[in-house]
Amino acid sequence: MIYDFILFSVFASLSVISATMVISLSNAVHSVLFLIFLFCNMSSLLLLLGAEFLSLLFLIVYVGAIAVLFLFVVMMLNINIELSSSKNYLKVLPIGFLLSIILALQILISIDVNFIGSKNIINSPEWILWLIESFSSSNVEALGFVLYTKYSLLFLLCGLVLLVSMLGVIVLTIHQKTKLKKQNITIQVYRVPRKTIKFSSLN
């Protein structure tokens, strides 16, 4: 119990620090790297709370796809990484404060309606003992069984779509160099020896 609480406190603290660094750094690449670190910490928190499917979904979708895509886009566009230091950030501070208040109110309203006033919750949330849960079937096993049996064709089609999109991105982003000297085998085979050999007198 004490180890779970310590791990939860560590991952929660790292999540807050990472989220602060994402919005405070002026380097876009560093912000994306801290965003990936934030997603990893959130995945660890979900794993401690027993939502193993959502934890793996965070790693696969957000870290493996979206965050890496952001990193590739930032590095591929070759934008000015360092923002101008003379920019006045006080102009956008009221908008950020207003959005923060709206987000906090939405969170408080959703907690009040769905959790505090709900009568379906009998017991308080408890920590998951993973040594005990490892001997029983988990949500990932149940979803994997359904995914690879009933929806296997759709799963293969999604993989095919992702493969085509990956190849399309590679073709669009590759830089073709036109000034390279290339070897043309056809011209070499059909050449005329009389035109290619030239005799010159050294006298």
pLDDT in tens, the chain (203 residues): 677 788 888 999 999 999 988 888 877 778 888 888 988 898 888 888 877 788 888 888 888 777 777 777 776 665 554 444 445 667 777 888 898 899 888 888 877 655 544 455 455 555 556 556 666 666 777 778 888 888 889 889 988 998 888 888 777 767 666 676 777 788 777 777 777 777 777 76
Whether 29 is in a domain gets the answer no
Whether 165 is in a domain gets the answer yes
Whether 32 is in a domain gets the answer no
For residue 24, what pLDDT is reported? 83
Which of 76, 14, 23 minimizes the C-alpha distance to 45?
14
Half-sphere exposure (CA, 13 Å, Cβ side) for 187? 5
CB contact at 8 A, 58 and 97 = no
CB contact at 8 A, 55 and 46 = yes
Whether 155 is in a domain gets the answer yes
Whether 92 is in a domain gets the answer no
For residue 202, what pLDDT is reported? 73
Q: How far is Cα 38 from Cα 19, in angstroms, rounded to an integer?
A: 6
Residue 183 in tokens: 């070897």
**In angstroms, what CA-CA distances link 15 with 28, 44, 45, 82, 121?**
18, 10, 9, 24, 28
Whether 170 is in a domain gets the answer yes
For residue 17, what pLDDT is reported? 93
Tell me the pLDDT tens digit for each residue of 64-100.
777 777 777 776 665 554 444 445 667 777 888 898 8
For residue 53, what pLDDT is reported? 81
Whether 167 is in a domain gets the answer yes
Domain count, the chain: 1
For residue 8, what pLDDT is reported? 86
Whether 85 is in a domain gets the answer no
Q: How far is Cα 55 from Cα 125, in angstroms, rounded to an integer?
A: 18
**In angstroms, what CA-CA distances link 20 with 17, 37, 41, 154, 193?**
5, 12, 14, 39, 72
Domain range enclosing 169: 138-176
